């Protein structure tokens, strides 16, 4: 089984001559001002959840956008700071972007074009030339930041996600001969019928084909990518090896299902801090007498939050015996709120919560609670421990690490995971109750089944889920990627 120690050993034995660099849009730690003091918090999202423990195990350099208002204050003149702040074990180099950069590169091309293009959630992507131009320029800024640190060292550069599709090309065009470049695409890759509408499809494929290794969550996304390359690019595809050859550049395309640090989450779930947080949350939200159903998501139209709320409504209509017996808690911070479709989604969620509570509440009992404040890690794990049921109802998701976090946190081997069949995680976590989030009645039926499931059955399912996540942990994901890279022939500069 892959562990933190085995990853450290692999890197010491095989990659000790290389600088290990991770590049992502989102940073692992954020410094901000609170009541006049500089404080830090861990960044949100699956990329951080997955890679922070790997970097803490391996040391190295993480390059990311510095979005905290106190970030410039704590970095050196090159934008670097040791992290985690309370026990530094690797270096974070921040790329500082201006408002125009963020509007065009992040809110614009990344999240109005690539994000909806890649998710089958019935949202039309919007393509604007000015957003694309800014996306190109910001990718160049990231390349400059990486190359400034690499200098003439041998480096393994591991790029994350759809924000940086052009970065591999800009790095390789620097003609530095000691770079091995890998890229993990954390969201789905669409079918060619969908991808072909993108005006910049060839530029995106061209950028990604400068990688030595390109990873997706599941084989289906690899197949979609190869089909896009076959239809759009002059290249040779070796389908037996899952490789694309263009000139002297070969790109291996592989499926690597991402995961979480099972052992660490399992350990944290049993600490006094989490036990105390459970008590405080129970008191804060008056949860003592109820079975708790939880949802934890960034507020995004791909996560199926309205569908989840409608299923709770249908549950209470169809099975009124659950009234005054359950509480559904939806946790999630607002994101990208000044984009119109996110504002509309937030308004829709607020409206549904109000309608459901008005329709079903009795006396002091309300069936739905929205938690919009930032949760520290102990509170997050505490909510997982408090829940009888965790609901992941994504309409389309590359993987979904909330499902795996919930399973890893249940050291008591209890609780039920209700999981959308449209997540990558459903391929592995088949002992969950699988749902189609568009089927409101069946969704409600599965929630009822989860709430009434016998303890013996709950424990049997949870043990199976925990075995899968423990075996396929984040270190196995990283180890398989590094092992694949070590198979590549790397020609030294003469």
Neighbours of 320 (CB within 10 A): 10
Handedness of CA 7, 10, 11, 13 (dihedral sign): positive
All domains of the chain in start order, with CATH: 4-259+475-486 (3.40.50.2000), 265-472 (3.40.50.2000)
pLDDT in tens, the chain (494 residues): 888 888 888 888 888 888 999 999 999 999 999 988 999 988 876 678 778 888 888 889 999 999 999 999 999 999 999 999 989 999 999 999 999 999 999 999 999 999 999 999 888 999 999 999 999 999 999 999 999 999 888 999 999 999 999 999 999 999 888 899 999 999 999 999 999 999 999 999 999 999 999 999 999 999 999 999 999 999 999 999 999 999 999 999 999 999 999 999 999 999 999 999 999 999 999 999 999 999 999 899 999 999 999 999 999 999 999 999 999 999 987 777 778 889 999 999 999 999 999 999 998 999 999 998 878 889 999 999 999 999 999 999 999 999 999 999 999 999 999 999 999 999 999 999 999 999 999 999 999 999 999 999 999 999 999 999 999 999 999 899 989 988 874 444 33
Quick one: pLDDT at residue 333?
Answer: 76
pTM: 0.93
304-347: pLDDT as tens digits: 999 999 999 999 999 999 999 999 999 987 777 778 889 999 99
Give the pLDDT score at 47. 75
| pLDDT of 485 | 84
pLDDT at residue 46 in the model: 64
Provide the token pair at 148: 């400034």
CA distance 116 to 133: 19
Contact 385, 278 (CB under 8 A): yes
Q: CA-to-CA distance for 303 and 295, rounded, in angstroms?
A: 10
pLDDT at 487: 82
β-sheet bridge partners, residue 54? none
CA-based R_g, the chain, Å? 23
As given in the structure block, the two tokens for residue 55 are 């970097």
């Amino acid at each position: 089984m892959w562990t933190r120690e085995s990853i450290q050993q692999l890197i010491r034995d095989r990659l000790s001559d290389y600088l290990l660099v991770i590049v992502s849009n989102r940073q692992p730690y954020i410094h901000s001002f609170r009541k006049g003091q500089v404080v830090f918090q861990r960044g949100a999202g699956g990329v951080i959840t997955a890679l922070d423990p790997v970097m803490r195990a391996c040391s190295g350099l993480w390059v990311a956008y510095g979005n905290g208002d106190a970030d410039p204050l704590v970095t050196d003149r090159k934008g670097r700071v040791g992290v985690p702040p309370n026990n530094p074990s690797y270096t974070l180099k921040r790329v500082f972007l201006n408002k125009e950069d963020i509007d065009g590169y992040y809110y614009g091309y990344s999240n109005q074009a690539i994000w909806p293009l890649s998710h089958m959630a019935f949202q039309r992507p919007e393509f604007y030339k000015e957003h694309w131009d800014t996306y190109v320029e910001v990718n160049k800024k990231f390349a400059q930041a990486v190359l400034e640190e690499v200098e003439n060292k041998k480096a393994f550069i591991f790029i994350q996600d759809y924000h940086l599709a052009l970065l591999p090309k800009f790095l390789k065009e620097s003609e530095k001969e000691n770079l091995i470049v890998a890229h993990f695409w954390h969201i789905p890759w669409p079918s060619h019928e969908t991808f072909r509408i993108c005006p910049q499809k060839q530029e995106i494929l061209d950028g990604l084909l400068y990688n030595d290794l390109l990873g997706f969550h599941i084989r289906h996304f690899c197949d979609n990518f190869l089909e896009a390359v076959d239809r759009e690019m002059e290249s040779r595809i070796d389908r037996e090896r899952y490789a694309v050859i263009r000139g002297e550049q070969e790109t291996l395309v592989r499926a690597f299902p991402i995961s979480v640090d099972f052992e660490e989450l399992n350990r944290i779930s049993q600490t006094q801090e989490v036990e105390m947080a459970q008590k405080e949350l129970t008191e804060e939200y008056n949860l003592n007498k109820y079975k708790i159903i939880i949802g934890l998501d960034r507020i995004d139209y791909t996560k199926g939050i309205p569908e989840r709320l409608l299923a709770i409504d249908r549950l209470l209509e169809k099975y009124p015996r659950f009234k005054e017996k359950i509480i559904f808690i939806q946790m999630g911070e607002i994101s990208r709120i000044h984009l119109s479709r996110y504002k509309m989604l937030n308004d829709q969620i607020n409206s549904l919560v109000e309608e459901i509570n008005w329709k079903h509440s009795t006396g002091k009992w309300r069936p739905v609670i929205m938690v919009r404040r930032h949760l520290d890690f102990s509170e997050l794990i505490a909510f997982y421990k408090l829940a009888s049921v965790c609901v992941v109802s994504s309409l389309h998701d590359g993987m979904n690490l909330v499902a795996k976090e919930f399973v890893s946190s249940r050291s008591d081997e209890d609780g039920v995971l209700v999981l959308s069949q449209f997540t990558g995680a459903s391929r592995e976590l088949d002992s969950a109750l699988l749902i189609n989030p568009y089927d409101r009645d069946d969704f409600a039926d599965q929630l009822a089944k989860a709430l009434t499931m016998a303890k013996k059955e709950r424990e049997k399912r949870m043990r199976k889920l925990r075995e899968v996540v423990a075996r396929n942990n984040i270190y196995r994901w990283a180890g398989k990627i590094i092992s694949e890279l070590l198979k590549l022939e790397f020609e030294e500069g003469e």
